[in-house]
């Protein structure tokens, strides 16, 4: 390379116009790999499956400049602040994976990921330490319970929104019990729990929206009723907020890009939607969701009964969504006094009792969800656009620029 040209560009988008300066520029030339690998991972924000293994997945690769390859990727974890454990992560389907063993309710899991490249220098990176609660129900929480600023619009109408991955996996029911937010001033907002259809570019309410009042500088827990979704991602939104109001924000949690949004104007549409970071405030809203495993309506088993040498045998086709089947028996079907005989995972069922006759019924159940869940996909399914408006911090002396 015979020469290098540098270009510097600044744009304050008409906010402060205070000018800028640049100094002490230096360039260095190296002929060895001194660049660490890259770990692309969205941290776990809550685990509602007690005693179930927690599979951590990450996209890990060496820097694209030298691309020396990787020698190891390791998952480091500790429970309740105890001794740190180290598990090698294996490459599975293009992602590195390792499982943290299932933990009891009330446990706090902290973890990080270490990657080492194959260069002579063995460049090493260890991520931040992330932690999350294990419980059922559990709060899905991006923020660290820290308010670094309060942001919103000084005028007009706006909304805020946070996306959450279904911790039970797409297709499995997630029950959302309540949501949480905090406003700097007393105000009102319409509460929505949305799913999003990328093909039609539409938001759909999981339950009817409703108006919620917020007291000034007060944590607000908002109960929900009959709010269950099987979508892989759901969104909690507070819309139609009058300008001059500001919601609590945690700027220290800046590693969840594409999950926190602001809407400029009434209602909710992607035409007026942008990410918080695109508006100049990387971090997380203090918007949380309390979730547990939900129950979806499923079909009833269609049962046949035959007389076999081993005893009366009940058989049925597998029911979509069922993880177990309850077998009931009664000597008096008119009185509806059925007794649970057994719970099994699949057909058939052989009855070994000695009664002269017995009536049976079989019900399908969605409980007993698979223990292994994978945390890998990004929450953001909306287009990551830069809004034409700017969020503002609350007009407090300590927050002015």
Handedness of CA 135, 138, 139, 143 (dihedral sign): positive
Closest residue by Cα to residue 268 from 140, 162, 165 = 162
> Please, are residues 56 and 375 in contact by the beta-carbon 8 Å criterion?
yes
> Please, are residues 268 and 161 in contact by the beta-carbon 8 Å criterion?
yes
**Residues across the chain:** 401
**Which secondary structure element, helix H or strand E, spans residue 181, and what is its range?**
strand 174-183
Beta strands in 317-358 (DSSP E): 324-330, 339-344, 349-350
Task: Give the other-Cβ count within 10 Å of 91's Cβ.
Answer: 11
* 353 φψ region: left (φ > 0), alpha (ψ -120 to 50), beta (else): beta
Region 38-136: CATH code? 2.60.40.10
Six token digits for residue 386: 């830069």
Please tell me the distance from the alpha carbon of residue 350 to that of residue 400, in angstroms, as a whole number: 74
How far is the first Cα of the chain from the last one, in angstroms, to the nearest whole number?
Answer: 42
Please tell me the distance from the alpha carbon of residue 136 to that of residue 241, in angstroms, as a whole number: 32
pLDDT given for residue 190 in this prediction: 98
Please tell me the distance from the alpha carbon of residue 381 to that of residue 231, in angstroms, as a whole number: 12
pLDDT given for residue 387 in this prediction: 40
pLDDT given for residue 64 in this prediction: 87
pLDDT tens sequence for the chain (401 residues)? 556 777 887 776 656 556 677 888 877 777 888 899 999 999 999 999 999 999 999 999 998 888 999 999 999 999 999 999 999 999 999 999 999 999 999 999 999 999 999 999 999 999 999 999 999 999 999 999 999 999 999 999 999 999 999 999 999 999 999 999 999 999 999 999 999 999 999 999 999 999 999 999 999 999 999 999 999 999 999 999 999 999 999 999 999 999 999 999 999 999 999 999 998 999 999 999 999 998 766 678 899 999 888 889 999 999 887 888 999 888 887 766 788 999 999 999 999 988 888 888 898 886 654 333 333 333 444 443 334 445 667 754 222 22
Task: Give the other-Cβ count within 10 Å of 220's Cβ.
Answer: 14
In a 10 Å sphere around its CB, with 0-12 CB exposed, 13-18 middle and 19+ buried, how is residue 308 labelled?
A: exposed
> Please, are residues 259 and 45 in contact by the beta-carbon 8 Å criterion?
no
Q: What is the largest CA-CA distance in the chain?
A: 98
Report how far Cα 386 is from the mean position of its chain's Cα atoms: 23
Six token digits for residue 46: 């809550």
In a 10 Å sphere around its CB, with 0-12 CB exposed, 13-18 middle and 19+ buried, how is residue 232 labelled?
A: middle
pLDDT given for residue 399 in this prediction: 26
**CATH architecture group of domain 139-294+376-399:** Sandwich (2.60)
Residues in CB range of 171: below 8 A, 6 or more apart: 230, 232
pLDDT given for residue 141 in this prediction: 97
């Amino acid at each position: 390379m015979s020469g290098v040209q540098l270009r510097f560009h600044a744009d304050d988008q008409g906010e402060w116009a205070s000018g800028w300066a640049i100094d002490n520029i230096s360039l260095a030339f190296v002929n060895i790999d001194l660049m660490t690998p890259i770990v692309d991972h969205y941290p776990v924000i809550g685990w509602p499956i007690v005693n179930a293994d927690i599979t951590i997945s990450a996209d890990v690769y060496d820097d694209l400049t030298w691309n020396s390859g990787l020698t190891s990727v390791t998952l480091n974890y500790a429970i309740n602040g105890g001794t740190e454990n180290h598990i090698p992560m294996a490459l599975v389907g293009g992602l590195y994976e390792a499982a943290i063993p299932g933990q009891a309710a009330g446990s706090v899991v902290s973890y990080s990921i270490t990657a080492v490249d194959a260069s002579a220098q063995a460049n090493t990176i260890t991520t931040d330490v992330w932690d999350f609660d294990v419980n059922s129900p559990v709060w899905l929480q991006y923020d660290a319970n820290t308010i670094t600023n309060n942001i919103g619009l000084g005028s007009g109408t706006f909304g805020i929104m946070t996306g959450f991955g279904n911790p039970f996996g797409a297709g499995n029911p997630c029950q959302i019990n309540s949501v949480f937010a905090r406003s700097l001033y007393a105000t009102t907002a319409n509460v929505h729990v949305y799913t999003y259809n990328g093909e039609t570019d539409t938001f759909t309410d999981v339950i009817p929206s409703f108006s919620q009042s917020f007291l000034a500088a007060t944590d607000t827990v908002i109960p929900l009723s009959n709010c269950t979704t099987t979508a892989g991602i759901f969104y909690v939104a507070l819309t139609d907020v009058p300008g001059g109001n500001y919601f609590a924000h945690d700027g220290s949690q800046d590693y969840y890009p594409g999950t926190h949004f602001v809407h400029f104007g009434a209602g909710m549409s992607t035409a007026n939607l942008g990410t918080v970071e695109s508006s100049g405030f990387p971090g997380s809203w203090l918007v949380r969701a309390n979730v547990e495993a939900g129950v979806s309506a499923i079909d009833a088993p269609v049962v046949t009964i035959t007389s076999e040498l081993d005893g009366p045998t009940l058989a049925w086709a597998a029911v979509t969504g069922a993880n177990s089947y309850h077998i009931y028996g009664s000597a008096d079907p008119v009185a509806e006094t059925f007794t649970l005989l057994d719970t099994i995972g699949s057909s058939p069922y052989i009855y070994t009792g000695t009664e002269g006759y017995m009536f049976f019924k079989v019900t399908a159940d969605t409980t007993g969800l698979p223990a292994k869940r994978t945390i890998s996909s990004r929450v953001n399914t909306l287009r990551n656009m830069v809004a034409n408006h700017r969020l503002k911090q609350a007009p407090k002396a300590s927050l002015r620029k």
